[in-house]
Amino acid sequence: MDKLFIFDTTLRDGEQVPGCQLNTIEKIEVAKALEALGVDVIEAGFPVSSPGDFNSVVEISKAVTWPTICALTRAVEKDIEVAAEALKYAKKKRIHTGIGTSEYHIKHKFNSNQDEIIERAVKAVKYAKRFVEDIEFYAEDAGRTDNEYLARVVQAVVKAGATVVNIPDTTGYCLPTEYGAKIKYLIENVDMGNAILSTHCHQDLGMATANSMMGVLNGARQVEVTINGIGERAGNTSLEEVVMAIKSHKELNIETNINTQKIYPVSRMISSLMNMPIQPNKAIVGRNAFAHSSGIHQDGVLKNLSTYEIIDPKDVGIDDNAIVLTARSGRAALKNRLNILGIEVDDEELTDIYQRFLDLADKKKDIADEDLLILAGKETNNIHRIKLDYLQVTSGTGGVRRVANVGIDIAGDKFDAASSGNGPVDAAISAVWQVICNNTTVKDGETEIKEFLIQAINKGSNDVGKVHMQVEHRGQIYYGFAAHTDIVVASAEAFINAVNKFVK
């Protein structure tokens, strides 16, 4: 069996997505989950980009034992020095340096020429090699780089000491045959020595997994992926899709180190921490990925699973015999379900979540996994300075005025206000806003709601609604999120959640 290395970039390419930013503690939690999942390399960040990213790479390096910790840089000496410093505590470390190689990048980004770009690439690899033995080089926009020139770049960086060469389809432009042929061309025309080629595909045309697989079939031995395929624009290749494609096709004689039964819990954990819902029909981890709804399919599956199922849901950690949680479920059942979802809680946290679980179960018959993830993540709201104490709205048809009364707690002081609006949400937010403008340093006219998304989690009118909000304050965007069975409350809390990020 050939080994395929899994390079996870959820914490770098994935975390670049607006609204998906994690704090260092959350990143450590994700890194530990990725370690338990069995990834070979964790790309932990781009240290020179911000002190927060630097610190996260330092702390992840301390917290994780088995996977290689990788830090991204441009082909710039300062970036490389900062990355080497951030990786100080990593047991196994890698610097990922690179430069754009397509004509688009050479001309428009660098105003340079092909030979000069090779010189800069070689210089960066040699410089990085002074600090770290394991160096990965990325040829940015390799997808649109002429193969002959790309082979010259790859040969030069391998000679300079690169251990892995990444061939990113940065813009998600390639067709699977084209990307496969690119990898084949490089394998046939470059003396790789002990170095390997890596795929790094984007999903702009929906072909990231197909392109990565074609790369593997033509000789790449590392794939760069993210959990749930999150990433810039349409996203990156998703880990779960490539890993399960490899596992399902034994004839390929390729194996990965992934413990596939941990895929589902890690997927849920990422979705919940990053407030990034998973589309229901997403391959492997979507809510409907194993749900057979047509009569013919149900009949077949009941006779024999293999009629319509190519993967046993248990292989990806979906426990289809899961006990349905209701108001009568005990703490042990709740704790067990949280563990399946990748959430470890101590006794105190469990008591807190259990209380909120019972409150929700009173309003909603069956509690779904998504509900639990929200309940488990909700306590972070407690540390916020501004909190919603109460909210009462009047709304309806036939000339009824939409009016909201709110009570707000600002660092322990209580305030209230009333306001009207064109609907209950507008009235509630306007009342909240009045309190904030009158009692903090924030001024009216400096803040605007830019995006507002309400989403039901499951089905049914008793469902929990999630609200995502983008609020602009003095030219900066802040993200707010909340979930509640009452969407007016969820909207007011999401707004407060965003405001808490800039209010002094």
Contacting positions for ligand KIV (CB under 6 A)? 13, 138, 140, 166, 168, 170, 200, 202
Query: What distances in angstroms separate CA 115 from CA 149, 153, 197, one per listed residue?
Result: 10, 9, 22
Q: Choose the one of Zn ion, ligand KIV, none that binds residue 237, judging by a C-beta under 5 to 8 angstroms depending on kind.
A: none
Give the phi and the psi of residue 463 in degrees, each rounded to 5. Answer: -75, 165
The binder of 134, among ligand KIV, Zn ion, none, by C-beta within 5 to 8 A per type, is: none
| Nearest to ligand KIV of 221, 364 (CB atom) | 221
State the Cα–Cα distance between residues 186 and 167, nearest whole angstrom: 10
Q: Which stretch binds Zn ion (CB under 5 A): 5-13, 35-43, 264-272, 337-345?
A: 5-13
Please give the size of the binding site for Zn ion, defined by CB under 5 A.
1
Supply φ then ψ for residue 344, to 5 degrees.
Answer: -95, 130
**Closest residue to Zn ion, based on beta-carbon distance:** 13
**Structural contact between residues 197 and 215, judged by C-beta atoms closer than 8 angstroms:** yes
Provide the minimum distance between the beta carbon of 16 and ligand KIV in the complex, in angstroms, as a whole number.
8
Q: How far is the CB of 138 from ligand KIV (least distance, A)?
A: 4
396 in the Ramachandran plot: left (φ > 0), alpha (ψ -120 to 50) or beta? left
Please identify, using beta-carbon distances, which residue of 75 and 243 lies nearer to ligand KIV: 75
Q: How far apart are CA 453 and CA 402, in angstroms?
A: 21
Binding flag, residue 79, Zn ion (CB under 5 A): no
The three-state (H, E, C) secondary structure of 298-314, written as one string:
HHHHHHCHHHCCCCCHH
User: Please, what is the minimum distance in Å from the beta carbon of residue 17 to ligand KIV?
Assistant: 12
Which lies closer to ligand KIV via its Cβ, residue 68 or residue 170?
170
**Whose Cβ is closer to ligand KIV: residue 228's or residue 434's?**
228
Q: How far is the CB of 432 from ligand KIV (least distance, A)?
A: 39
Give the C-alpha separation, 400 to 340, whole Å: 47
Smaller CB separation from Zn ion, 16 or 189:
16
Burial of 380 (0-12, 13-18, 19+ CB in 10 A): exposed
The full length of the chain comes to 504
Smallest gap from residue 12 Cβ to Zn ion (A): 8
Residue 59 binds which entry of ligand KIV, Zn ion, none, with Cβ cut-offs from 5 to 8 Å by kind?
none
Instruction: Identify which of residues 14 and 342 has a Cβ nearer to ligand KIV in the complex.
Output: 14
Q: What are phi and psi of 164, to 5 degrees?
A: -135, 140
Q: What does 140 interact with, of ligand KIV, Zn ion, none (CB < 5 to 8 A by kind)? A: ligand KIV
Least spacing, CB of residue 358 vs ligand KIV, in Å: 45
Nearest approach, Cβ of residue 202 and Zn ion (Å): 6
Of 7 and 479, nearer to ligand KIV (C-beta) is 7
- Per partner kind, with CB cut-offs from 5 to 8 A, the member of ligand KIV, Zn ion, none near residue 241 is none
Min separation Cβ 228 and ligand KIV, Å: 17
341 CB-near residues (< 8 Å, 6+ apart): 265, 268, 269, 369, 372, 373, 376
Phi (first) and psi of residue 104, to 5 degrees: -60, -45
CA atoms within 13 A on the CB side of 98: 28
Binding mask 7-46 for Zn ion (x = CB under 5 A): ------x---------------------------------
Distance CA 91, CA 65 (A): 6
How crowded is residue 215: how many other Cβ atoms within 10 Å of its Cβ?
A: 30
Query: Is the Cβ of residue 166 or residue 419 nearer to ligand KIV in the bound state?
Result: 166
| Contacts with Zn ion, residue ranges (CB under 5 A) | 13
